[in-house]
Amino acid sequence: MNIVHGQNMADILPENQSLEGRGTLQRRVLLREALVAAAERTVAREGLAGLRARALAQEVGCAVGAIYNAVTDLDELVLLVNARTLTALERELSTADDAEPVTAAPDAAIARLVRMALAYLDFAVFHTQRWRALFDHRLPAGQDVPNWYRDEQRRLFGYVEELLLELQAQESRVRRALLARSLFSAVHGLVVLGLEEKLQALPLPVLREQIRFVVTAIGRGMATEA
Amino acid sequence: MNIVHGQNMADILPENQSLEGRGTLQRRVLLREALVAAAERTVAREGLAGLRARALAQEVGCAVGAIYNAVTDLDELVLLVNARTLTALERELSTADDAEPVTAAPDAAIARLVRMALAYLDFAVFHTQRWRALFDHRLPAGQDVPNWYRDEQRRLFGYVEELLLELQAQESRVRRALLARSLFSAVHGLVVLGLEEKLQALPLPVLREQIRFVVTAIGRGMATEA
């Protein structure tokens, strides 16, 4: 029996696939993984603009045309890289949230939100190009974001949502989800424009202070409304 | 006087220029204006990605090489287009602010901030490509944003800053300027991610409600701190 490695393999392997076919498919999956890793390195180094099929093929040692056996197009490759970035971001946020609370509710909940927001800033500072790629990449007109990518995004918002439970317990789940998105968006705006060179990037300690101020104000606004 | 963005004719016209030379210079200024107008139309239609020297030259009826007699490069052209967008945005914000206040301080000041934030959303919705170009455009590494462009940006923040006078009268000018930038950034984040198709764009009434909530919360946070 031919053992197929990796969970995804079994999912995408048609049952009537011949042994020879399986070998081809496995090579395709390995190539796909190599391409995602190479694309991730390129994005981290040069940003989205540095992504070129020819250079990628060279880096993983395949023909340019072979790329399109492993991924549909470069857009799919970018989504795969971005999904990994979302996972890394989620890990950073959850690590930041592990610190012990030092104050009572609602201040403890607000302090957690501030910590998460600052961890988001740190991620953007240390992984600027990969972080930018999350937002700079746009699919061609008329092409929808695949569901698996939407799920990754939802998981990230879900994390903030859970934090809002303490501040907005009386709200419906739908409204909490909306507030989580808004809070994330406000912090994202502060980080994006705070680091923007065209606006003269703010010194990091100043930017941290501003994020703390805005997140605290929003958190208090929520607590007051509650 | 014939005003060119950021500088006027007299400033760029050397004093010892001959009449014939002036004619050349004037043609150059006219070409520059035609190029900015053509670039603006292209950006409004197709976004930054649609900007091509060849197509621009065709549209204004000059040789491709002649473009570089009128502007340093396409980056300068984008900055000139963006400066016009900033002026248009400022006009929208000031129109939105003309409405009569209906409540007392600090609520009146907060209501003004909300109106401005919603006007910003409207601008982004109605002029999406030109608005995106303000943030998507990056200068080549190592190239600084010219001072005349920075002044345009500062004027926009100055507008928000003035609104904060009522809420943060006791703060130093520097700190108020910082808060104006943060408030603008938070609203910008809400608008950017609210309209983002990859995150499933929010229905506009929902987005407006979220902007209202966040701006009010920040405004109240400021008033509480004051």
C-beta pairs of A64-70 under 8 Å, 24+ apart in sequence = A66/A31, A67/A35, A69/A28, A69/A31, A70/A28, A70/A29, A70/A31, A70/A32, A70/A35
Is the Cβ–Cβ distance between B13 and B25 less than 8 Å?
Answer: yes
Q: How many residue pairs bridge chain A and chain B with CB atoms within 8 Å of each other? A: 117
Neighbouring C-beta atoms of residue B93, cutoff 10 Å? 20
CB contact under 8 A, A214 and B210: no
C-beta pairs of A25-28 under 8 Å, 24+ apart in sequence = A28/A69, A28/A70
Helix H or strand E segment including A37 = helix A19-46
**Residue A226 pLDDT:** 56
DSSP-assigned beta bridge partners for residue B8 = B3
Closest-CA residue of B relative to A189 is B189
Query: Nearest by CB to A221, which of B145, B198, B217?
Result: B217
Query: Nearest by CB to B186, which of A179, A190, A202?
Result: A190
For residues A178-188, give the mean pLDDT.
Answer: 93
> Helix/strand/coil (H, E, C) string of chain B?
CCEECCEEHHHHCCCCCCHHHHHHHHHHHHHHHHHHHHHHHHHHHHCHHHCCHHHHHHHHCCCHHHHHHHCCCHHHHHHHHHHHHHHHHHHHHHHHCCCCCCCCCCHHHHHHHHHHHHHHHHHHHHCHHHHHHHHHCCCCCCCCCCHHHHHHHHHHHHHHHHHHCCCCCCCCHHHHHHHHHHHHHHHHHHHHHHHCHHHCCCCHHHHHHHHHHHHHHHHHHHHHHC
How far is the C-alpha of B178 from the C-alpha of B188, rounded, in Å?
15
**Hey, what are B80's tokens?**
């000139």
All residues of chain A having their beta carbon less than 8 Å from the beta carbon of residue B117 are none
Cβ-count burial of B119 within 10 angstroms (0-12 exposed, 13-18 middle, 19+ buried)? middle
Measured between CA atoms, how close is A113 to chain B, in angstroms?
A: 15
**Residue B42 pLDDT:** 97
Q: Give whole-number Cα distances, B174 to A191, A206, B3, in Å.
A: 19, 12, 31
**Among candidate residues B147, B105, B120, the one with its CA nearest the CA of residue B11:** B147
CB contact under 8 A, A185 and B192: yes
Closest-CA residue of A relative to B223 is A217
Measured between CA atoms, how close is B17 to chain A, in angstroms?
A: 34
**Residue B105 pLDDT:** 64
CB contact under 8 A, B189 and A185: yes
Neighbouring C-beta atoms of residue B76, cutoff 10 Å? 19
Q: Give whole-number Cα distances, B30 to A181, B3, B66, B165, B183, in Å.
A: 47, 11, 12, 41, 39
Residue A165 has pLDDT above 60, yes or no: yes
Specify the pTM. 0.85
Q: Which of B183, B187, B198 to mutate to test the interface with A (most CBs of A within 10 A)?
A: B198
State the distance between the two ends of chain B, measured CA to CA, in whole angstroms. Answer: 46
Residue type, position A201, single letter = A
**Hey, what are A124's tokens?**
């953007």
How far is the C-alpha of B169 from the C-alpha of B105, rounded, in Å?
12
Which letter, b or e, does each residue of B101-116 get, where b requires 16 or more Cβ atoms within 10 Å of its Cβ? eeeeebeebbbbbbbb
What pLDDT, in 10s, does the model give residues A32-59?
A: 999 999 999 999 999 998 999 999 999 9
Neighbouring C-beta atoms of residue A148, cutoff 10 Å? 10
- As for the ipTM of the complex, it is 0.83
What pLDDT, in 10s, does the model give residues B77-87?
A: 999 999 999 99
For residues A175-194, give the mean pLDDT.
Answer: 93
Residue A17 has pLDDT above 70, yes or no: no
Q: Which residues of B touch A (CB under 8 A)?
A: 135-139, 145, 149-150, 153, 178-179, 181-190, 192-194, 196-200, 202, 206, 210, 213-214, 216-218, 220-222, 224
Is the Cβ–Cβ distance between B1 and B8 less than 8 Å?
Answer: yes
Query: Nearest by CB to B218, which of A149, A193, A218?
Result: A218
Tens-binned pLDDT, residue by residue, of chain B (226 aa)? 333 444 444 444 444 455 456 678 888 889 999 999 999 999 999 999 899 999 999 999 999 999 999 999 999 999 999 999 999 999 999 888 776 656 666 788 889 999 999 999 999 999 999 999 999 888 888 888 999 999 998 888 888 888 888 888 888 888 888 999 999 999 999 999 999 877 778 999 999 999 999 999 888 877 776 5
**Residue A7 pLDDT:** 36
Question: Assign residue A85 a region: left if phi > 0, alpha if psi is -120 to 50, beta otherwise?
Answer: alpha
**Residue A212 pLDDT:** 95
Is the Cβ–Cβ distance between A177 and B118 less than 8 Å?
Answer: no
Which letter, b or e, does each residue of A61-84 get, where b requires 16 or more Cβ atoms within 10 Å of its Cβ? ebeeeebeebbeebebbbbbbbbb
CA-based torsion, B163, B85, B24, B147: positive or negative? positive
All residues of chain B having their beta carbon less than 8 Å from the beta carbon of residue A188 are 189, 192-193
How far is the C-alpha of A201 from the C-alpha of B181, rounded, in Å?
11
How far is the C-alpha of B35 from the C-alpha of B48, rounded, in Å?
14
Query: Nearest by CB to A186, which of B145, B190, B202?
Result: B190
Closest-CA residue of A relative to B139 is A198
CA-based torsion, A129, A133, A134, A135: positive or negative? positive
Torsions phi, psi of A171, nearest 5? -80, 155
Neighbouring C-beta atoms of residue B154, cutoff 10 Å? 15
